Structure 1
């Protein structure tokens, strides 16, 4: 538990915003001088400032996977090791859920696995040294990162694989009697609706965007505040504090901000300055965040996040009526229009299928408020000055098991 203790000490040390910025500056200086040059991609770059490194994304990482890790492991080697359930030398291999259809891979050393665990516990379960929690992790893909929890001896952790389907894992979760559940919102909603003998003390939404509709359902059933853990292949990015507010993990990750035109949201570029096996520098995330600059009653000076809004590539791209190019309409704006159209709407999908074609789907029984949802979107697009033909339909809305649930989705045909 040494990594847990270090993480707790660091949290107490970073008491002001100036403390956070000074800490990051020192760690980034070391990172640029000693860590980044250890991998082929940055070997010839002598950067003094983070902004002097090139921006990278998943496509660049997967095209030259071996260039970004110290062991020179290729993407094919990582894929084969993962499929066989093996390590690559002394390194563990993990993968993303492949929301966009392409899985991303990562490599971690044993030391990094336990560092990750210590940070996670310090932020999500700070009382872990005082009591032994039973933690259920429900995700589409297992990870050696979670193995470190059981190896620590401080937790009873069980992983439930969503590839078997949501319904298939519910009885096992109930039988495990977890005190803590970490799961996508779609699973938490099904647990809330099922008549199962569950009494968790803490709940964390992870791996998907948390819709306010789902939050309300889960909190009403279990009577506790639903926290969030924002993490991805690229690292651990934010965890809810004791007051229920999401904070960026700025003690371990540097966040640069890109702002889509005409939006108050930000798309982060992340640099994890604690990982040395695989260098993730200025990695362009596909997520959109709404930041909150208000101070938090928990006392943390680390940046608050009001909302993880959704994916950048799910923002609708619609033609402006004045002919001046296209406008991005972000998922949160679309979601708020649909949910606000009628209080009876508890599930939905909104999909952009063409340059002007938007389809709203509600589940069976939603006939009476389907037109409300369509009209709300028509008003939204008209007020925004963009061209859109909104159509409505009734149909099944099954939650996907192996992929993330995305209620707002841009699905334009190729070309």
Structure 2
């Protein structure tokens, strides 16, 4: 966990990408012109990356001949990426299919450039959706509109977020509809194996083994669920920080780069654990955070009522969520060390910000109350 003497309200310095954003304006404008978005040439203005955004794909906001748009593109090769690959085309395909097969709100897609010929990498463009999103950096548990909301307003947002999950998981015959995501055999086994592969990829630069991560993989094997089927479309990065809200109502679901076919509980545990990750940081800083938000029993009860699905083996999936996040955070730590923003820790487990919580989850001493 971070040092409690740090300024919790300050944005943590993290290099997300090293692209020359301004240099992208002209080629993207020319490409948009081929889509006939306006009478005459398209002009791009106000091109910028949003503050408090995520740490993986690059998001750009801009006006195209006064029309507000958003571009998503992979990070450049020199930016020490968080993930080994970024399939932008697949992300936009998933969004399109979600819109076609459900009422889940996703941003309208303008177009996808799949060849990489325009800016050196594939990218997609979608409509900008008006609204607000809880920030990751600094975390929303330290302040802002969600922190300042009433308990009833936060509950409205929480229930709307869970309804989004129920809607995503309710898409019928997901392995067929989202065939590019489907794997042969057991979907949960494929999902966990992919996380193992990802962990090994993160080690490719330094060979470092992180004991708490490897212990968590062992724990998962020793406590494997008896029956993890049937599976559904898994959003993957399911949390309020990836939703745009109109007041407290979801109006756009974002960031589909971790989408997969998996048990419903993968998403449900992720939304619960990711909030607790932030809440535990607030506790370290002796700040109140938002302890009444996304509590596990509340989220499960709402989800079961909305979906008709009985949530199973939730403790297992919470450990899995903590493990998945541990692998991500270990790579984020490596990247911050690479860019001189952090010092290399002596203890490999300190590559995982929430290593203490993960250890407590493994030995059954973590308190959710």
Task: Give the TM-score of the pair, scaled to structure 1.
Answer: 0.24
Of structures 1 and 2, the one scoring higher in RCO (CA 8 A, sep 6+) is: 2
Query: Which structure's residues are more often helix, by fraction?
Result: 2
Task: Give the TM-score of the pair, scaled to structure 2.
Answer: 0.26
